[in-house]
Structure 1
Amino acid sequence: MSALLVKRCCAAALALGLAASALAQPRAAGEAELKAAFAYRIALFVEWPAESLPAGAPFQICSAGNDAAWTAAFAALDGKKVQGRPLAPLRAVLRDDELRGCQLLFVPQREGRKAPPAAAGLLTIGESEGFAVAGGVVGFVREGTQLRFDVNRDAAARAQLHLSAELLKVARSVIDGAGAKP
């Protein structure tokens, strides 16, 4: 294994804290739990506009559609905080007009790869291949057995989100107006 590959793998593990122990579960995490943990860890490397985080309000993760498996996966994050705010229980949204108050929208694969319209202060994370290219901020991708992600900087800018350099470094690719950059 090349030194660059080892360094990149270590940086990814450190930056996102994806070790099984970070999940605080005695069993190996399933796919949904892993993606929920990834979404949470990604959120730790994002800055939201102040007006999208009302004083005293919890951090709200929403899911496109209603699915008990995703509700359970995100429930494993109970007790965690983002930007000093406790996570509220996952809220299912069925229409774009229900996104008010959401800081992170998770779009499951069954909902397709189309990202919802850009909204100020809304981090969109999808699990369909091509989600980031289609306008989502973060899109999960599989590389063999590894879960990776692409980042769309233009989508983040439209949502008025600031993504940390550490997050961009561990992304599989960063998409902006000039195209994808590995």
Structure 2
Amino acid sequence: MSAHQLLTSVRRLALCLAMALATPTSFSEVASEGQLKAAYLINFLKYIEWPVAKPTVTICLFGRDSLGPYLAPYEGRSVAGKELRIRRVSSPEQLADCQELFVPDTEEARYAAILRWTDKQPILTVSDNEIFARDGGSVSLIRQEGRLQFDINTDAMGRAGLKPSSQMMRLARQVIGSTR
């Protein structure tokens, strides 16, 4: 690893740590909750190893699009050395090029169906519902004590063939599953 790559990796880790350790009284003091969630989705892409490399990385949004406006400024930018794309999906047929699928908490009634669609596919499933990771999703974004944190389900990631970095594992509020 070159000195430049090492410095870039250290900067990324510092950004994630800063996001994880920020303790504002309210989300509005730092950024809107939507902006923070979008930043987490972008950063997750940097700390996951996918089984198959693709020239682009795509975040797919399912259901009511609450994060699209916050993710739009990132579209076309380079994330982990790949061009970022953002798109909406509503059916399993549309998931083929998704590396990350965000499912808002408003879609809780459809979690089981969505997780069946993504089963054993290399897709990082993320929701802003606390039970999502416990119910088989990869990552839950959680509001707690004025901070946005996340839980990781390593069994779900393993089934998807995804490998979270050790840095991401350390930053998680809770690691669910048997793989450590």
For the aligned pair, the TM-score class normalised by the smaller chain equals 0.7 to 0.9
Q: Which runs of 5+ in 1 are unaligned?
A: 1-12, 20-26
SS of residue paired to 1:38: helix
* Residue 14 of structure 2: aligned partner: 14
Q: Which runs of 5+ in 2 are unaligned?
A: 1-12, 21-28
Give the 4+ runs in structure 1 shifted more than 4 A.
Answer: none
Which residue identity lines up with residue 59 of structure 2 in the other structure? I
Task: State the number of aligned residues.
Answer: 155
Deviations 1:70-97 (A, max 9, x none): 2111113235323311101x21111223
Aligned partners of 2:64 and 2:106 also within 8 Å = no
| 1:127-146 superposed matches below 5 A | 127-146=128-147
* Residue 107 of structure 1: aligned partner: 103
The yes-or-no answer on 1:125 pairing with 2:126 is yes
The yes-or-no answer on 1:152 pairing with 2:138 is no
Which of residues 53, 66, 70 in structure 1 aligns to 2:67? 70
Higher relative contact order (CA 8 A, sep 6+): 2
Instruction: After TM superposition, give the deviation of residue 33 of structure 1 in Å.
Output: 1.4
Percent identity between the two aligned chains = 34
Paired with 1:98 and 1:32, the residues of 2 have a C-alpha distance of: 24
Paired with 1:15 and 1:174, the residues of 2 have a C-alpha distance of: 21
Which structure has the highest helix share of the two?
A: 2
Deviations 1:112-141 (A, max 9, x none): 172522242101111011110011111011
Instruction: After TM superposition, give the deviation of residue 14 of structure 1 in Å.
Output: 2.3
Instruction: After TM superposition, give the deviation of residue 18 of structure 1 in Å.
Output: 2.7
* Residue 5 of structure 1: aligned partner: none
CA-based RMSD = 2.5
Which residue identity lines up with residue 148 of structure 1 in the other structure? Q
SS of residue paired to 2:152: strand
Instruction: After TM superposition, give the deviation of residue 15 of structure 1 in Å.
Output: 5.5
Aligned partners of 1:108 and 1:126 also within 8 Å = yes
Q: TM-score, normalised by structure 2?
A: 0.77
